[in-house]
């Protein structure tokens, strides 16, 4: 007779399979690097002549040139700091575990009293979660680009403790979540964490069918107050990278309120 523990273990192994690394369905257009001119200071770069209402964008994980280029495309007067540390959300979380490290980045970015937008791709959410734990009052908006994961609880649901900070933020300020259908297999996917937030914030996912940047295909949308979710097709590695190359488009989604 098979034990209950063994059955449970087998179910955990087969409930999800890691997503494939290739895809031939969508076009997966890629942004080409081009020359841009800006003033570099510390880890930041400034374009134009920002004033007190000009945003400071702090991005975590992903090629800095792509983030700088996308930011300059959307804002005439802006400062952006693109932080690329390494692999895994833990390294980002540990890097900004204290307010001291965050304040230093704000100083380098000449943020002063300017509105600060946090954006992240993939593992970069670890930095944002840490920052929300000690400096949420300083943030004007957040954009998560296929970038919010969590552990699983005993019922294979996302750990609420990993996500509550984001839900609390969305009740007061803009939180934009863009996600693919990629499933890691061993921890909650961006689809699952988005669904958790949708339920927690009383929103409802609606089916849509429209083109996104670079040949992406949007399949769903959810909105409630400051909170918005855009769900896209694709469960492969190229679909995940598509999300980063859509960066300039995602910046349009967050509306800054002083």
What values do phi and psi take at 203, rounded to 5? -95, 180
Report d(CA 95, CA 105) in Å as an integer.
11
CATH number at residue 75: 3.40.50.1820
The answer as to whether 26 is a domain residue is: no
Q: How many domains does the chain have?
A: 1
Q: What is the DSSP string of 119-132?
A: EEEGGGHHHHHHHH
The answer as to whether 107 is a domain residue is: yes
The answer as to whether 22 is a domain residue is: no
Per residue in 185-234, pLDDT (tens digit) is 899 999 999 999 999 999 999 999 999 999 999 999 999 999 999 999 99
| CA-based end-to-end distance of the chain | 64
Report d(CA 172, CA 140) in Å as an integer.
10
Output the pLDDT for position 8: 41
| DSSP at 89 | H
Output the pLDDT for position 17: 58
The answer as to whether 83 is a domain residue is: yes
Output the pLDDT for position 257: 60
Which segments of the chain are extended strands (E)? 39-41, 44-47, 56-60, 78-83, 116-121, 139-145, 175-179, 206-211, 217-224, 227-232
Per residue in 105-153, pLDDT (tens digit) is 999 999 999 999 999 999 999 999 999 999 999 999 999 999 999 999 9
The answer as to whether 219 is a domain residue is: yes
Q: Which domain holds residue 232?
A: 39-251
Report d(CA 11, CA 179) in Å as an integer.
25
Secondary structure class of 154 (helix, strand, coil): coil
How would you classify residue 39: left for phi > 0, otherwise alpha for psi between -120 and 50, otherwise beta?
A: beta
Per residue in 175-188, pLDDT (tens digit) is 999 999 999 989 99
The answer as to whether 33 is a domain residue is: no
The answer as to whether 125 is a domain residue is: yes
In sequence order, the 6+-apart residues with CB closer than 8 A to the CB of 66 are 31, 33, 244, 245, 247
> Nearest CA to 130 among 179, 85, 64, 191?
85
| 89's tokens | 């959300």
Report d(CA 85, CA 27) in Å as an integer.
29
The answer as to whether 203 is a domain residue is: yes
Per residue in 9-25, pLDDT (tens digit) is 433 444 445 566 676 77
């Amino acid at each position: 007779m098979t034990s209950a523990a063994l059955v449970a273990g087998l179910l955990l192994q087969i409930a999800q399979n890691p997503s494939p690394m290739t895809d031939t369905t969508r076009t997966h257009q890629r942004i080409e690097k081009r020359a841009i001119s800006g003033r570099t200071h510390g880890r930041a770069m400034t374009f134009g002549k920002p004033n007190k209402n000009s945003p400071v964008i702090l991005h975590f994980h992903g090629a800095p040139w792509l983030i700088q280029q996308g930011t300059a495309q959307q804002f005439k007067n802006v400062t952006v700091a693109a932080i690329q540390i390494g692999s895994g959300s833990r390294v980002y979380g540990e890097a900004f575990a204290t307010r001291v490290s965050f304040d230093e980045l704000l100083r380098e970015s000449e943020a002063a009293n300017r509105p600060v937008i946090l954006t992240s791709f993939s593992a970069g959410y670890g930095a944002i979660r840490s920052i929300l734990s000690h400096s949420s009052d300083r943030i004007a908006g957040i954009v998560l680009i296929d970038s919010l994961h969590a552990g699983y609880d005993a019922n294979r649901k996302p750990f609420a403790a990993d996500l509550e900070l984001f839900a609390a933020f969305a009740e007061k300020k803009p939180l934009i979540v863009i996600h693919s259908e990629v499933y890691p297999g061993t921890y909650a996917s961006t689809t699952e964490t988005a669904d958790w937030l949708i339920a927690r914030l009383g929103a409802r996912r609606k089916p849509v069918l429209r083109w996104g940047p670079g040949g992406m295909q949007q399949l769903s949308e959810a909105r409630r107050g400051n909170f918005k979710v855009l769900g896209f097709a694709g469960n492969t590695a190229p679909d995940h990278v598509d999300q980063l190359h859509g960066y300039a488009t995602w910046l349009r989604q967050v509306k800054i309120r002083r």
